[in-house]
Amino acid sequence: MNTFSSSPFGPLLTAMVTPFRSDGAVDYGRAEELTARLIKDGSTGIVVSGTTGESPTLTPEEKLELFRCVKRAAGSTPVIANTGDNETAFSIEFSRQAEAIGLDGLLLVVPYYNRPNQEGLYQHFKMIAEAVKLPCVLYNVPGRTARNMEAKTVARLAEIPNIIAVKEAGGDMAQVSYIRALTNDDFAIYSGNDGDTLPMLALGGCGIISVISHIAGQPMRQMMDAFWNGDLSTALKQHLRLLPVCDALFPPTAPNPVAVKAALQLQGFDCGGLRLPLVEVTETERENLRRAMQDADLL
């Protein structure tokens, strides 16, 4: 059963990399070109300045300009801005600024480093959502934030009218199941890990906020469409075909988005380097990535 209609953003959102010029400045022109490429390859929405977009190294001014240029390039395709931070007051103000630009939604990450408890998480997200009118997507990624947002907290927040979805990147299928059990059918659950997409569809997920879609947007759409059309054999084959690429994009020694920028280079679409403290992939990592992409017919 196709469930992505419960989300206004569609089933395949790309967490877009931020292109940089050789001097380290944001390449806004390349960002517009990348936006058009992603939409052409099947993305139904674009997430700007998330983890994959190297948001910790971008200034607020750079982020706002990115929001503007990506929205301009995306046309009618939804653009979702990552405006969450580990300070509630700043998150509220920045979310209001993003809303004023005319974006379509907000991505709000669990506060990192200060590790609030579940009540603190609830109050943080409630205050941000109530300060704007835009649809809000919660983002749970305990591997980066050192705090898991529990299913019961997500369910409480889902009662707030403009909190419409969660990006769940904890890798815990039991937690995904509880989120689905505790929320209404129209609350959207997005996978936050490419390799978890197919299992999460079976648990009532609506799609993926993806990294691999930079280089494999159409295969990801085909996998999801096959699942929703009841062709589980084809969906599984596509999942297994892409799984080694998912692994190669997230090697233990190269944090996202190091490898996906290398993958774009391998496909001939260079988005520039990285901002420190991130550094380029090693030759071994690049070769592993090249081999996985070749085996999946992505080169």
Using a pLDDT cut of 90, give the percent of the chain over it.
97
- What domains are defined for the chain? 4-229 (3.20.20.70)
Residue-wise pLDDT tens digits, 52-102: 999 999 999 999 999 999 999 999 999 999 999 999 999 999 999 999 999
Collapsed DSSP state (helix, strand, coil) of residue 292: helix
Q: Give the pLDDT confidence score for residue 7 in this predicted structure.
A: 87
Residue 5, pLDDT > 70, answer: no
- Whole-number CA gyration radius for the chain: 18
Listing DSSP states for 222-262 in one string gives: HHHHHHHTT-HHHHHHHHHHHHHHHHHHS-TTS-TTHHHHH
pLDDT average, residue stretch 219-230: 97
Give the residue-averaged pLDDT of 171-179: 97
Cα gap 285→281, rounded to integer Å: 6
Query: Environment class of residue 126 by beta-carbon count within 10 Å: exposed (0-12), middle (13-18) or buried (19+)?
Result: middle
pLDDT at 4 over 50: no
Give the residue numbers marked as catalytic: 139, 167
Q: pLDDT tens-digit profile of 89-101? A: 999 999 999 999 9
Helix (H) or strand (E) holding 140: strand 136-140
